[in-house]
Amino acid sequence: MFLADEKRYERMQYRACGNSGLKLPAVSLGLWQNFGYQDCFANMEQMCHTAFNLGITHFDLANNYGNPYNGSAEENFGVILDRGLRAYRDELCISTKAGYDMWPGPYGCKNGSRKYLLASLDQSLKRMKLDYVDIFYHHIYDPDTPLEETALALDQAVRQGKALYAGISNYTKAQTEAIREIFRELHTPFIVNQPSYSMLNRWIERDGLRDYAAETGMGLAVFSPLYQGFLTNRYLNDIPTDSRVGKGNTWIGAELTDAMRTKLHALNAVAQGRGQTLSQLALSWVLREGKVTTVLIGASRPSQIIENAAVACHTDFTAEELDAIESILAQ
């Protein structure tokens, strides 16, 4: 039976999610990869236990996470909860999402309809054996469904007690503004957007979403802060066969050019000067200004979680370091 480390809350920084009363750890664990049917259960359980012992209370899932079939990550997480972690349910913030293709037919395809969202949430709760999730996200904007319908579905999930807060993911600033106005009229506890963001993917800065979130009191839980592994030491010299690029398990593999490696080596030098690894530098940089609530890390083994959780209290940068990073990224 799992017993949590009594000192688990001494090692993590917690940040308010926008203007809400919910606090999230600076580093959260995403279960997108390595929690599917074909993955090693003992390893995924150890990763969850390691994360919680480091003060990572937020576990982020989605209906379509896991392979070779959708939902297997939620099923595995439900078993992990059963084997000891469920005793700490009130110390956990569990989120899930719906929006991408999930089951055959017109009601389970990529959309934001009321029928799809509420049916998917019921399925997710059943897989994880939960009465509610803490955050329920619409996973991606759907231009074919009226935004009001999507907002009302998320609002209903909260009013039914199946979710405590509503969120959105992959929404631009303009799309976020539009749905936020509907949520304000409904008085829905809408608190967070989950976009991608990293040193190598700064679209939320150009789009204005990052500053808009800070100005309006909305949380940002960002995914792929390590750009699917590019911002780690894995690709500095070669492509490991067991890596995501090596296995062809990423659509950005073609970006790993000689020019990209030169950039990564330069960033790694900055990291070493700070006493950090490249991945720690990348996470600290995302968290540096306080406009991001939490970074969602993925992991394939517990040691990666230990390494990355250490950034929570090291998000300060000198002006010289920031200038050096900007110069490297501009190359």
pLDDT for the residue numbered 245:
55
**Which residues lie below 8 Å from residue 235, measured CB to CB, with a gap of 6+?**
229, 243, 245, 256, 261, 264
% of residues, the chain, pLDDT over 90: 88
Q: Provide the token pair at 51.
A: 């994360």
Q: What's the pLDDT tens digit per position in 108-145?
A: 999 999 999 999 999 999 999 999 999 999 999 999 99
pLDDT for the residue numbered 249:
58
The overall average pLDDT reported for the chain is 95
| pLDDT of 36 over the 70 cut | yes
| pLDDT of 243 over the 60 cut | no
Distance, CA of 305 to CA of 28 (rounded, Å): 9
SS3 77: helix
Distance, CA of 315 to CA of 331 (rounded, Å): 24
pTM: 0.95
| pLDDT of 289 over the 90 cut | yes
pLDDT for the residue numbered 246:
45
In the chain, what are the domains?
A: 13-229+288-299 (3.20.20.100)
Residue 255: pLDDT band with limits 50, 70, 90: confident
Q: What's the pLDDT tens digit per position in 186-214?
A: 999 999 999 999 999 999 999 999 999 99
Q: How many angstroms from the chain centroid is the CA of residue 307?
A: 17
Residue 97: pLDDT band with limits 50, 70, 90: very high
Evaluate whether 209 touches 182 at the Cβ level (below 8 Å): no
Q: Provide the token pair at 34.
A: 């390595």
| pLDDT of 257 over the 90 cut | no
Phi-psi region of 93 (alpha: psi -120 to 50; beta: other; left: phi over 0): beta
pLDDT for the residue numbered 219:
98
Q: Between 256 and 162, whose confidence is greater?
A: 162
**Which residues lie below 8 Å from residue 104, measured CB to CB, with a gap of 6+?**
none
| pLDDT of 54 over the 70 cut | yes
| pLDDT of 18 over the 80 cut | yes
Query: Which regions of 204-251 does DSSP assign to beta strands (E)?
Result: 219-223
pLDDT for the residue numbered 244:
56
Q: Is 246 exposed, middle or buried (0-12, 13-18, 19+ CB in 10 A)?
A: middle
